[in-house]
Amino acid sequence: MGYTGGTTANPTYERVCSGSTGHAESVEVLFDPKVISYEQLLEVYFKGHDPTVNKSYGGGQYRSAIFYHNEEQADVARKLKARLEKEKGRPLSTEIVPATTFNTAEDYHQSYYKRRGL
């Protein structure tokens, strides 16, 4: 768990929530493309939330976003988003933007659901 997509160095949870950093709460996924493709990962991402709902309120830390690391990833993400928009018959709010530095969140922000028995 961490923060990315903003402009402030070393953001904290409080600052991210204030909307002053431009960061989104995010996870960094390291994967082996020999085991799972980038497109398959994105399909799981889109199934895990409703990307038609715009959650950019309150500073945007809960916005739907894909942070890509190269143009190949960007192309895969754009094509999948276009396909899903056609299937759903409405636009997706998901941003597809270049990755910035991933900042690991504070310890108390890690494993949120597990620590609460959810």
- What CATH code is carried by the domain that includes residue 25? 3.30.1060.10
When divided into structural domains, the chain yields a total of 1
pLDDT reported for residue 62: 86
The range of the structural domain enclosing residue 35 comes to 2-115
Distance CA 72, CA 4 (A): 20
* CA-based nearest residue to 38, from 65, 6, 61, 69: 69
pLDDT reported for residue 52: 80
When computed from its CA atoms, the radius of gyration of the chain, rounded to whole angstroms, is 15
- pLDDT higher at 50 or 87: 87
For residue 59, what is the enclosing H or E element? none
Whether the per-residue pLDDT at 82 is higher than 70: the answer is: yes
pLDDT tens by residue, 20-79: 899 999 999 999 999 999 999 999 999 988 888 777 655 588 889 999 999 999 999 999
* CA-based nearest residue to 19, from 65, 72, 53, 62: 62
For residue 39, what is the enclosing H or E element? helix 38-47
- Please count the CA atoms within 13 angstroms of the CA of 22 that sit on its side-chain side: 9
Whether the per-residue pLDDT at 118 is higher than 80: the answer is: no
pLDDT reported for residue 86: 96
- pLDDT higher at 71 or 7: 71
